[in-house]
Amino acid sequence: MLTIRMTRHGAKKRPFFHIVVADSRSPRDGRFIEKVGTYNPLLPREHAQRVTVDKERVAHWLKVGAQPSDRVAKFLAEAELMKPRERREQTKKNQPRAKAQERLKAAAGAAAEGEKTEAAAS
């Protein structure tokens, strides 16, 4: 299966990525078929050279059946080469569990009652 993904280049703490078409079984920075663009995350978002893509070649590879990675799909959607993917729902692991949420709601309710009584007293 062909993928359109990024390979990391650049020095330590100075990342630079090539956007390549590669076999999905090859390593991240290993063998690839064709280089179709670049991504420089150190440039500001508005900079023209932050993401460069050869639109004709990417369109060809998408037509052949290459699947872009999530990040590359986002870049291609910004370049209007494909429609944007749906965002996956975020996990809820960082939220408190059920009993803790109940305690927070109870505390918020008690605080609201305290404000009402203070407002009525004044």
Instruction: Check residue 113 and give its pLDDT.
Output: 79
pTM above the 0.85 mark? Answer: no
Residue 2's closest CA among 36, 32, 35, 40?
32
- Give the pLDDT of residue 121: 66
- pLDDT of 115 over the 70 cut: yes
Q: What Å distances lie between residue 101 and 97, 108, 112, CA to CA?
A: 6, 10, 16
Q: What is the pLDDT of residue 53?
A: 95
Helical (H) or strand (E) element with 108? helix 98-121
* pLDDT, position 122: 62
SS3 for 119?
helix
Q: How confident is the model at residue 76 (pLDDT cuts 50, 70, 90)?
A: very high
**Better-predicted residue by pLDDT, 3 or 85:** 3
Whole-angstrom CA distances from 50 to 47, 75, 77, 83, 96 are 6, 10, 15, 20, 39
User: Which residue type does 68 have?
Assistant: P
Q: How do residues 26-74 score in pLDDT, each as one tens digit?
A: 999 999 999 999 999 999 999 999 999 999 999 999 999 999 999 999 9
